[in-house]
């Protein structure tokens, strides 16, 4: 345990130092996270406006403008805190040969990547915090009356972050075979856009899509903690939501292990 703490302490320190050097570039990349949710918010705000103030789903959930605002602002922050880009990064390393020295280290490369991911989120969140606060003050979202719903959202958010990370890494490992994972990753993000609740809150998705999204790992990575934080989730859906997160996390870990051990066997370095 002490060993792992010192490993992560050292990796985090190195990663944060690296982050601060590229702070401007990193902030610009982080702003990409604003674009998707805010465009969705604009679309749904326009839709509510043309409906005269509120949209009611087939299941009876209603969304007003302020509800959409709350949903997408929390969504934006949560997806920043759970984001992962390892599929791109890993494939790049396989191609330019940078993976090989990392494999020789007496530590699985995933650990330094996790540390880097955490450092990125620490640094960028500190920079983005004033913007987030400003958006909340300015756009006047309909937040729940009591802050208690935020409490169960914290473990859900942590699970969501780990879940997305594990699945992205499993996807990244496919680079052992193809060296290019852009196409697969793009499909992943397209499905993610619908099933994670980014394009529309899950309650507003049409019939079959809503059901598929509900049970999918993508909702567990994003919409579930958001709905939990906003207190929009019926009480009887809270525990099943956590259960789905844990089931998908276990599945992701099994997949990652299997892909990694099969991939590493047949990996032969690219480059000179």
Partner 1 sequence: MHTIQVLKAFYRSSIQTDIEYRVDFFTRILASLVGLLTTVGALSIAFNYTGNLAGWTFPQTLVLLSIYYLMDGLIEMFIAPNMRAVMEQVRQGTLDFVLLKPISAQFMASFRTINIWRIVNVMVGLGLSLYTIGRLSLTVGMSQALAFGLTLLCGVAIVYSFWLCLVTLTFWFVKIDNIEQIVWQAFEAGRYPVEIYPVWLRGALTYVIPVAFIITVPARALAGRLPGTYLLIAPVVALASLLLSSAFWRFGLRHYTGASA
Nearer to partner 1, 28 or 131 (CB): 28
Does 29 bind partner 1 (CB under 8 A)? Our answer is: yes
Question: Which residues, in sequence order, are CB contacts of 269 under 8 Å at separation 6+?
Answer: 97, 99, 100
Q: Quick one: CA dihedral 186, 188, 191, 197, positive or negative?
A: negative
Does 28 bind partner 1 (CB under 8 A)? Our answer is: yes
Does 45 bind partner 1 (CB under 8 A)? Our answer is: yes
Does 42 bind partner 1 (CB under 8 A)? Our answer is: yes
CB 245 within 8 A of CB 163: yes
DSSP label of 52: T
Tokens 């995933």 correspond to 110
What phi-psi label fits residue 94: left (phi over 0), alpha (psi between -120 and 50 degrees) or beta?
Answer: alpha
Number of other CB atoms surrounding residue 227 within 10 Å: 26
Question: Which residues, in sequence order, are CB contacts of 215 under 8 Å at separation 6+?
Answer: 244
**Number of residues forming the site for partner 1 (CB under 8 A):** 33
Does 194 bind partner 1 (CB under 8 A)? Our answer is: yes
Does 205 bind partner 1 (CB under 8 A)? Our answer is: yes
Does 159 bind partner 1 (CB under 8 A)? Our answer is: no
Interface residue with partner 1, options 20, 49, 133, 154 (CB under 8 A): 49
Nearer to partner 1, 28 or 264 (CB): 28
Interaction site with partner 1 (CB under 8 A): 24-25, 28-29, 31-32, 34-35, 39-40, 42-47, 49-51, 55, 180, 182-183, 186-187, 190, 193-194, 199-200, 204-206
């Amino acid at each position: 345990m002490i060993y792992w703490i010192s490993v992560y302490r050292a990796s985090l320190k190195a990663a944060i130092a690296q982050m601060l050097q590229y702070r401007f570039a990193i902030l610009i990349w982080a702003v990409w996270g604003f674009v998707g949710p805010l465009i969705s918010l604009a679309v749904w705000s326009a839709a509510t406006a043309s409906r005269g103030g509120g949209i009611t789903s087939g299941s009876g959930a209603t969304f007003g403008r302020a509800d959409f605002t709350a949903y997408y602002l929390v969504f934006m922050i949560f997806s920043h805190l759970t984001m992962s880009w390892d599929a791109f990064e890993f494939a790049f390393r396989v191609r330019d040969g940078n993976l090989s020295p990392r494999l020789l280290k007496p530590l699985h490369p995933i650990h330094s990547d996790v540390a880097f991911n955490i450092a990125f989120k620490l640094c960028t969140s500190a920079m983005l915090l004033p913007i987030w606060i400003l958006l909340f003050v300015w756009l006047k979202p309909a937040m729940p009356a009591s802050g208690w719903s935020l409490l169960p959202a914290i473990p859900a958010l942590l699970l969501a972050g780990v879940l997305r990370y594990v699945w992205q890494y499993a996807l990244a490992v496919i680079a052992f075979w193809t060296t290019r994972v852009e196409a697969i990753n793009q499909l992943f993000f397209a499905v993610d856009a619908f099933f994670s609740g980014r394009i529309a809150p899950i309650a507003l998705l049409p019939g079959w899509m809503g059901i598929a999204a509900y049970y999918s790992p993508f909702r567990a990575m994003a919409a579930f903690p958001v709905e939990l934080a906003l207190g929009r989730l019926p009480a009887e859906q809270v525990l099943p939501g956590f259960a789905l997160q844990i089931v998908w996390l276990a599945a992701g870990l099994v997949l990652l292990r299997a892909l990694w051990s099969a991939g590493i066997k047949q990996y032969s370095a690219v480059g000179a």
